Amino acid sequence: MLTTIKEVAAHVGQEVKLGGWLYNKRSSGKIQFLQLRDGTGFIQGVLVKNQVAPEVWEEATKLTQESSLYVTGTVRQDDRAPSGFELDVTHLEIIQVAEEYPITKKEHGVDFLMDHRHLWLRSPRQRAILAIRAEIIRAIQGFLDQQGFTLVDPPILTPSSCEGTTNLFHTKYFDEDAFLTQSGQLYMEAAAMALRKVYSFGPTFRAEKSKTRRHLIEFWMIEPEMAFVDHEGNLEVQEQMLTHVVQQVLKNCEQELKTLDRDISKLQQVKAPFPRITYDEAVELLHKEGFADFKWGEDFGAPHETKIAESFDRPVFITHYPTEIKAFYMKPDPTRPEVVLCADLIAPEGYGEIIGGSQRIDDPALMEERYATHNLPLEAYQWYLDLRKYGSVPHSGFGLGLERTVAWICGLDHVRETIPFPRMLNRLYP
Ligand code: 4AD
Ligand code: MG
């Protein structure tokens, strides 16, 4: 039976057999140090020439980087080892001697690494990121499930757009036209009227020609939607959820955050309540902080968001954006209809918008007006209008972009490392 590296702590002084890969090797003539990984962790195997059978020593000399093997040895506690343990190797069995591995110790360019993404995933850094990504998903689902939300899956192929028509992926659906979903929100609104508190978790697509550190073509979104929850209640769920997520990652991913050299003092601050400022206040702040030309009614770009975030030690909500620059479904502020009851949540340290959300229009007449101003064909959106005609209630929701959240929590400077196989403007391979 195989033991995993993650389990060796329970086997100190015992002989175990591991299955894994060699990621590096050092040799001093009489000792071979085998850096081993097995997918659950990393450990150094030590092979002493005059303590093992000559065939075993011989086999070890044949091991190239990424060769696969079974290795047997005694677990020894060693406080100098990064993992805290070493393996005194007694026996090994090669599964395959790997061909010359393209990713070596030397520095590689990003394009090269991206072309070899299928292999790059094996590095300690990429492994740590994917482990944290999974923990973030677990934490979000744990929080929402515990709060009484029901997971509902919206369709991927859709007849219409949710977030505007400029960045839709078009495809044929037999004789009809269809689009890859930009957001499951509209469907989640329907589900909220059936199950009250719902959320979706799935891939979304934006044919965006932007080549930035924050944009992917295919990304994953978590979209909660809640009946009988207003704008303020919506923000409370968001700050509670993110606090839970960050604290759970700090607790369960200590090793991974260390691998990434993440400054965790910045994450420890992330506790609800988060500060809230209005769009108007944000514009005022920008005017004072070197963006004198910024005009009311423009949307914030990355430099603006970074500047605004600098004034806060935790994520900040920017609320009440101009109606003009936001999506058609957002509810206008009854006291000031030129702004909407919405919020973008801006992460600290320059990571930008990680959540977009709002209270939704619940009045059918106003919604019909919006269809007209936004040129939305009634045939395609009739069903969405129905939600306002048959027992309309106040409701709100939001979408959290998983990859931007992973980039922020891991402290990465580009979203390309936050998803196993990123789809970007110039990348569809591998
Ligand atoms: O702000 P967005 O466009 O909002 C919506 O789609 C709403 N329908 C969500 C809702 O209310 N249910 O997108 C939400 C989040 C953004 O805050 C951002 O984190 C992420 O999705 N996002 C992207 N992430 C990576 N690459 C892109 N191209 C992204 N576009 C949006
Ligand atoms: Mg947005």
Residue 346 beta carbon below 6 angstroms from any ligand 1 atom: no
Residue nearest to atom 4 of ligand 1 (CA): 356
Q: Is 43 in the pocket of ligand 1 (CB under 6 A)?
A: no
Among the atoms of ligand 1, which is closest to the Cα of residue 217? Answer: 28
Bridge partner list, 180: 157
CB 216 within 8 A of CB 169: no
Ligand nearest to the CA of 402: 1
Does the CB atom of residue 216 touch ligand 1 within 6 A?
Answer: yes
pLDDT score, position 186: 98
Determine which residue's CA is closest to atom 15 belonging to ligand 1: 401
> Does 355 contact ligand 1 (Cβ within 6 A)?
yes
Residue 398 near ligand 1, beta carbon < 6 Å: yes
Instruction: Please give the distance, rounded to the nearest whole angstrom, from the Cα atom of residue 68 to the centre of ligand 1.
Output: 41
Can you give the pLDDT at residue 83? 86
| Rounded Cα gap, residues 76 and 86, in angstroms | 5
User: CATH 2.40.50.140: which residues of the chain?
Assistant: 5-96
For ligand 1, mutation pick of 136, 219, 360 (most atoms within 8 Å of CB): 219
Phi, psi for 352 (deg, rounded to 5): 75, -165
Q: Cα(287) to centroid of ligand 1, in Å?
A: 27
Contact partners, residue 293, CB within 8 Å, separation at least 6: none
Backbone angles phi, psi at 198, to 5 degrees: -135, 165
Those residues whose beta carbon sits under 5 angstroms from the ion ligand 2 are 356
| 422 C-beta closer than 6 A to ligand 1 | no
Range(s) for CATH 3.30.930.10 in the chain? 117-417
> Looking at this predicted complex, what is its ipTM?
0.99
Q: Are strands 336-340 and 157-158 parallel, antiparallel or unpaired?
A: unpaired
Query: What 3 state SS string does 270-301 have?
Result: CCCCCCEEEHHHHHHHHHHCCCCCCCCCCCCC
Q: What is the pLDDT along the chain (430 residues), one digit of tens a residue?
A: 999 999 999 999 999 999 999 999 999 999 999 999 999 999 999 999 999 999 999 999 999 999 999 999 999 999 999 889 999 999 999 999 999 999 998 899 999 999 999 999 999 999 999 999 999 999 999 999 999 999 999 999 999 998 988 899 999 999 999 999 999 999 999 999 999 999 999 999 999 998 899 999 999 999 999 999 999 999 999 999 999 999 999 999 999 999 999 999 999 999 999 999 999 999 999 999 999 999 999 999 999 999 999 999 999 999 999 999 999 999 999 999 999 999 999 999 999 999 999 999 999 999 999 999 999 999 999 999 999 999 999 999 999 999 999 999 999 999 999 999 999 999 999 9
Long-range CB pairs of 361-366 (<8 Å, 24+ gap) are 361/329, 361/330, 361/331, 361/332, 361/388, 362/331, 362/388, 362/392, 362/393, 362/394, 362/395, 363/388, 363/392, 364/388, 364/389, 364/392, 366/332
Q: CA torsion angle for 87, 90, 91, 92 (degrees, to 10)?
A: 30
- Residue 176 is predicted with a pLDDT of 95
What dotted CATH number matches 117-417? 3.30.930.10
Taking the CA of residue 357 as reference, the ligand 1 atom at the shortest distance is 11
- Residue 105: the pLDDT is 86
For residue 215, which ligand has an atom nearest its CA? Answer: 1
Q: How far apart are CA 72 and CA 58, in angstroms?
A: 15
* Biggest distance spanned by C-alpha atoms of the chain: 87
Is 206 near ligand 1, meaning CB less than 6 Å away? yes
Regarding the beta carbon of 32 and ligand 1, being less than 6 Å apart is answered: no
**Distance from residue 327's CA to the centre of ligand 2 (Å):** 9
The H-assigned helical ranges of 100-149 are 110-115, 117-120, 124-146
User: From the CB of residue 234, how many other CB atoms can be counted at a distance below 10 Å?
Assistant: 25
Which CATH number fits the domain 5-96, given the four candidates 3.30.930.10, 2.40.50.140, 3.10.310.10, 3.40.50.10240? 2.40.50.140
Nearest CA to ligand 1 atom 7: 399
Q: Is 184 touching ligand 1 by the criterion CB < 6 Å?
A: no
CB 146: neighbour CB atoms within 10 A?
Answer: 9
Q: Which helix (H) or strand (E) holds 424?
A: none
